[in-house]
Amino acid sequence: MISNKEIIEEYRKCYQDKTRIYMIENYLSTFDATQNNTVQFKLFPKQKELVEALSKYPRTILTKPRQAGVSTTACATIACEMWASTPDIPETILIVANRLDLSKLDLKKIKEFLIQIPRFLWGPEYYGTPEKEAKTIFIKDNDKYIELFNGSSATAISSGKSAARGVSACSTIVFDEMAFIEDGEVVYSQAVATTASGGKIILISTPNGKSLTNIYYSIFEKAKRGANDFHLVEMKWHQDPRYNKNLRWIRYNKETGKQEIEIEPTIDKSGNIKYDNERWKSLISQNYKAFSPWYDKMCNTFNHDKQKIAQELDVSFEGSAGTVVDQEIIEFQEKTNTTEPIYGDNFFKEAWIYKEPIFGHRYILAADTATGSGEDSSVIQIIDIDASNENGVGFYDQVFEYQGKIQGDILAEIIYKYGKYYGNALAIVDCVGSSGDATVLKLQSLGYGNLYYDDANLKNITSENPKLMGVDDEKKMPGFKAGYLRNQMLMNLEKMLRFNEIKIRSKRFIYELNTWIWKNGKPDHQSGAHDDTITSMAMGLYVLQFSFKKLEAVREKTKAILSSMILVQNMMSNKATIDPNMKVNTKPLPFYTGSTLKASLNTKAANGDMNKMVNIMGMSFFGQFRY
């Protein structure tokens, strides 16, 4: 038996420690999967940080790896708060999870922790005689709702859109695995509306991608940069002493091609190590990655599935997304290639210019059309196909992007304006639907002469076909019809991004890559997100990739002709000079295809005007080829 003096002292210690750490560690126990046994609940440093945050902050968001015990720790803290409450200010808990069985499991944990609290801490009515010891502390008790004699209660609900309707005001809301709740924003809004003034909100989850349409990631991202009132606690598996035994750190040195390994010194024969979070953060900042025997075993359990490992172990929003393009590739593009636009269009605010047109470079314009009234946007991408780095290595460069909700004929005016500006760029317009038809018809009425034509008889776009570009058949309707080629062109884009063959400048494009995922085995955008910039870029690059063969076939021939003609012209006159590095200011160059170039040369030759022919050839070839 414990004396009254000891009871008072223990009650004082439990009540005055608002973190509830003393109560958890001295009176609660939990199941430890690594020992396959129930053990005393001794909090390791990161768990203590979590418990302290729950006591201090009204809004807390927690990220966790698999089997980290975060939900269990939160349930233990909540049980202690329910014990400490009074009838005039009861603790009322609402538990919302992505599945009802999970919220019921959390409620069960809370109940078990309440039962573990010693009877003498509940008061004299519940401690002393056998009758008092047998008296229940619960007024109501089922798998969805419990209520204590002091008025405190906890309710478990599912995450349906109307799940929180009818729930009375609560003091604390817990969202478990929130990143996986469907219609999370609606569920979150309805549940938070039940919070009493000054109530707490606790968000717990493993990652599930980086989509800002996911309410959990949206709150996480803002909390990380201090843009909301949520306090962020990020728990990593290597901070858990159950899993970090014999911890080692590995990074790949790209310069030497070798692995560099840092091994944590052990402090006992069991492989335990010193907790040194500052050192670990430093290693992570140097691109080291944590490994341990437990981690290796878990990776084997997940069959080395990168998405599962990122989601369940690494607490990685990037790797957990299941995106079509690997997150490392997206991050590389974002950190290495994206830039702010050098300026935008005063009239069309969403038209962003990343690079001015360069004299002698060829440009392709790809336009994905939309009606202007729905969720999708019309997009224009312009690609410099003659860009190169300081070492002369060529690549494709995104130089312009427009994204907006406008009608097809207005889109045609933007295409006309910027197509002309970028050297009379080859305009590839998506013609699936009435909006696309309206765009190409308007372009024809404006007299834009460099439109892409699909060949209806072409069964395989990779085949050589003389009418693939620059067709003269007026009966054909210009435009690109993806149809069964959609998946091929999208996967061609993925390949080009993977090998950094295309440099993405737009942050809008990067955002869509982060929400571009696999659905039923096909690339598609997440629910609530879009992929308009991706589709338009894929369309332009696909035509370029499989039409470029024809252009390259005449490159050497035309290059030799141009060189000889320039030589003749220079012999006749010293007036003609050509600077391949000159930028276009007011007279963008045309994109000459084989047929239009040939017609131009034949016309000038027939006139016998050598000087004009040389000038036209110089302009034409610089519009098509770079030396």
Question: Which of these ranges, 73-77, 464-468, 534-538, has the smallest mean pLDDT?
Answer: 464-468
pLDDT per residue as tens digits for the range 338-387: 999 998 777 888 899 999 999 999 999 999 988 655 667 899 999 999 99
pLDDT higher at 145 or 209:
145
- Per-residue pLDDT tens digits for 66-94: 888 899 999 999 999 999 999 999 999 99
Give the DSSP per-residue string, 407-418.
-HHHHHHHHHHH
Mean pLDDT of 8-27: 96
What domains lie within the chain, and their CATH numbers? Answer: 4-238 (3.40.50.300), 243-320 (no CATH), 334-551 (3.30.420.240), 555-624 (no CATH)
DSSP string, 45-67: HHHHHHHHHHHH-SEEEEE--TT
Q: Which of 429, 444, 179 is nearest to 312 (CA)?
A: 179
DSSP 8-state symbol, 239: G
Token pair in block for residue 512: 């869509």
Query: Taking the model in full, what pTM does it have?
Result: 0.59
The CB-based long-range contact list for 293-300 (8 Å cut-off, 24+ gap) reads 293/245, 293/246, 294/34, 294/237, 294/242, 294/243, 294/244, 294/245, 295/237, 295/238, 295/243, 298/66
The 10s digit of each residue's pLDDT in 160-191 is 665 555 566 789 999 999 988 888 888 888 88
Q: What does each C-alpha distance from 91 to 11, 79, 308 come to in angstroms?
A: 18, 10, 37
In the beta sheet, which residues pair with residue 260? 251
- Strand 138-141, strand 248-253: pairing: unpaired
Of the pLDDT bands very low, low, confident and very high (cuts 50, 70, 90), residue 467 is very low
Instruction: Answer yes or no: is pLDDT of 127 > 90.
Output: yes
Long-range contacts of 519-525 (CB under 8 A, 24+ apart): 522/487, 523/324, 523/487, 523/490, 523/491, 523/494
- CA–CA gap between residue 94 and residue 145 (Å, rounded): 9
